[in-house]
Structure 1
Amino acid sequence: MPRTVDSSLLAAFSSGYVEPVTLMQIQFRSQSCCAWSGVGSLAWNGLTFLGVGSLGALGDIQESADVHADGSSVALSGIDPVWLGESLNDIWLGAPVRRWTSAVQPGTRTLIGMPYLHFFGQVDKPSIYTGADKIAISLKLETRLINHARASNRRYTAADQHANGYPDDTGFNSVEILNDIALVWG
C-alpha cells in the first residue's frame, strides 16, 4: 500500500543523523492525553505532548495483505498504586488513538517535517501488571476493522435512528407496527 511521507522527514531518516520519535494521542473519559517518546514537553499541531521517556512502551504495528484487524499496544509503567482506581475508571473502551512516527533534530525538541500518521485505531482492552511499589497499565489497541466482528446493539426502530444522528429519518416509522400484525400464510 503506497504511503505519503513528508519529503523533509524522509530525507532526515535517510541521512541517519536524526533521533526517531513516536507521538501518541489517546482519548480518555476526562481528557485527551498526548505523549511522546522523549523527555520534556513537545508542541505540535496545537497539542502539547508530554514526554514519557523510558516509562512508556509501544507494541509493534503489524500489517498484512489479508483483510483482518491488526492491532498494537501501549503501556505506561511507574504508576503510583494510589492512582490505580482512578486510572482504570478513566479508560474509555473504543476511544480513538493516533500514533505518529517522526524525528527531531539531535539534542532538541524540534520536529523535522510533518509527522507520519502510522496508526489510527481505538482502545480495545486494558491489562494491569502490579508490583510491590509500582503498577503498569497496558492498553490493547485495534484498528476500526475489529468492529466488524462485534455484534451490533442497534435496533431497527425510529427511536434508534433518531437517537443515532438521523432525526429526520422516517424509514423505520412503520417497523414497530409490524410486530402487532398477524399475518396468515398459505
Structure 2
Amino acid sequence: MSRGVSVNNLAAMEADCICPVIFVKLELDSGDILVHSRTGDITWGGDTYLGMGQFGEIGLVREDTELGRNPVDLTLSGIDEALISILLGEYYQGREATVYIGFLNLVTFQLVDTPEYLYGGLIDNSTITRDQNATITLRVENEEARWDTPNVRRFNNADQQLRYPGDKGLEYMEQMAEKQLNWGRG
C-alpha cells in the first residue's frame, strides 16, 4: 500500500476502469485559483474547483534522496483571458501551488474520497503564449527551494526594530561589539 493513500482512493486506483481528476490550487494575493482536469465544478475541502476539461499537462514529479529543487511544470491551455490578466497583473513568484489527484465514481461522477496530495511548492516563473488558445506554463519548485534563499538577519538594534518595534533586547549590541573586557583583573 502506498503511503497515506485512503482505502477508497486505493480501490479506485486498482479498479479495471478508473476516472482520475487532477486538482491545482494556486494561492495568490488576490485569491486562490482553483482548477481541475474535468468539466463542471467540484467542491471539496471547502473550496470549489472550476473544471477546465483537458487543461494541459503536469510535468514529471520526481523525488530523490538529494533533497534538490525538482521543479514541475504545470501547463494550462485554452484558459480564460481573466486568468491570464491575473497572472500578468500580480506578483506570483514565491506563492504556494499544490497539485492533488482524486478519483471519480464512474456512476455518480462524485469524488470517491478526499483527493490525495501529489505535489506542492512555490511558483517560480511562468511562460504565457497566445495563439488560437492561450497557454500558461508555471514552473513550481518544491519546498526545498526555500533552503537556497539566504536568511539575511543581523543581531543589531536596527534589524530588531524592523522585526519587533519597541523591543529593547538588542539596544546596546553595537556598543558591546567594541567593548574591551578584562577578565581576572582587579
Q: What is the TM-score when the length of structure 2 is the normalising length?
A: 0.80
1:1-186 paired onto structure 2 within 5 Å: 3-79=3-79, 84=84, 86-106=86-106, 108-131=108-131, 133-158=132-157, 160-161=159-160, 163-164=162-163, 172-177=170-175, 181=178
User: Aligned partners of 1:63 and 1:160: how far apart in 2?
Assistant: 37
| Alignment-mate amino acid for residue 90 of structure 2 | D
Letter in 2 for 1:62: R
| Aligned equivalents of 2:81, 2:118: Cα separation in 1 | 32
Deviates more, 1:109-118 or 1:77-86: 77-86
What SS does structure 2 have at the residue aligned with 1:54?
coil
Shift of 1:161: 4.7
Unaligned 5+ runs, structure 2: 181-186
TM-superposed deviation, 1:167: 6.7
Percent of matched pairs sharing the same residue: 25
Does the CA contact (< 8 Å) of 2:52 and 2:79 recur in 1?
A: no
Aligned residues: 180
The 1:80–1:115 alpha-carbon spacing in structure 2 relative to 1, beyond 3 Å, is: closer
Cα distance change on mapping 1:157 and 1:3 into 2, 3 Å: farther
Distance 1:142 1:44 in 2: 25
- The one-letter amino acid paired with 2:148 is A
Question: Are the equivalent residues in 2 in contact too, given 1:25–1:33 (CA < 8 A)?
Answer: yes
- Contact 1:24-1:34 within 8 A present in 2 as well: yes
Q: Which has the larger radius of gyration?
A: 2
CA RMSD, aligned part only?
3.0
Deviation at 1:79, TM superposition (A): 4.6
Deviation at residue 125 of structure 1 after TM alignment: 1.2
How far apart in 1 are the matches of 2:161 and 2:118? 35
Distance 1:169 1:108, change over 3 A: farther
Offset of residue 70 of structure 1: 1.4
Q: 5+ residue gaps in structure 1?
A: none
User: C-alpha displacement at 1:108, in angstroms?
Assistant: 4.2
CA displacement 1:101-158 (0-9 Å, x = unmatched): 1100126431112211111211111122233x54322110011101112233444445
In structure 1, the residue corresponding to 2:60 is in which secondary structure? coil
Q: Distance in 2 between matches of 1:60 and 1:137?
A: 17
Tell me the SS of whatever aligns to 2:69: coil
